[in-house]
Amino acid sequence: MVGGNARAESAATARITRFSTAVHTKLPFGNELVSDFVFREPPNDYLLVELESPQHELFTKSGDQRVQLNHAIQQTSNWVRYIADNKRTVEHELGLVGISTTPRRLVVIGRSASLTERDRRTLSQLMSDHPHLTILTYDDMIERAKANLERLVGSLSLQVQNARLYYPKPTQ
């Protein structure tokens, strides 16, 4: 969970929820595990989301994974293990009907500016080793949201001087 950073959590949630058909927050996976978010996407595809602070760095200067990154990955792995061991309970009591025992996982943590090229290669290898895991920085989330929006409405990088925008009046 994003430690005390409600603004970052809210922004990330808004970007993730765009194409979801259901959003679950703080789902209990057993007595000790609680998700940040679970998103249902068509058709019965689920995404488990762990949000960490944007202030966390992902790697040490020597290139080792930081504790916060390891903890976030382990947390999502624990959720998946609980789902696999308790699929009926998860489907019937938590309402995650049709959930796979290997759902996709997303960890959002840190900022891109702190990543070196070596760090990015390490992240890529880490995600390659765990095919259902995606690790993004908050900057990556913003870039993906912008790219998705541009696919829908066109370029967002207009640089026009003395332009006026006119909006049609809403019909009643």
What pLDDT, in 10s, does the model give residues 115-141? 999 999 999 999 999 999 999 999 999
Query: Is pLDDT at 78 greater than 90 in this prediction?
Result: yes
Give residue 2's pLDDT. Answer: 47
Q: Which domains does the chain have, with CATH numbers?
A: 6-153 (3.40.1350)
Calculate mean pLDDT across residues 90-107.
95
Q: Which residue has the higher pLDDT, 108 or 161?
A: 108
Can you give the pTM of this predicted structure? Answer: 0.78
Q: What's the mean pLDDT when you consider all of the chain? A: 86
What are the helix (H) ranges across the chain? Answer: 6-16, 67-85, 87-92, 117-129, 138-153
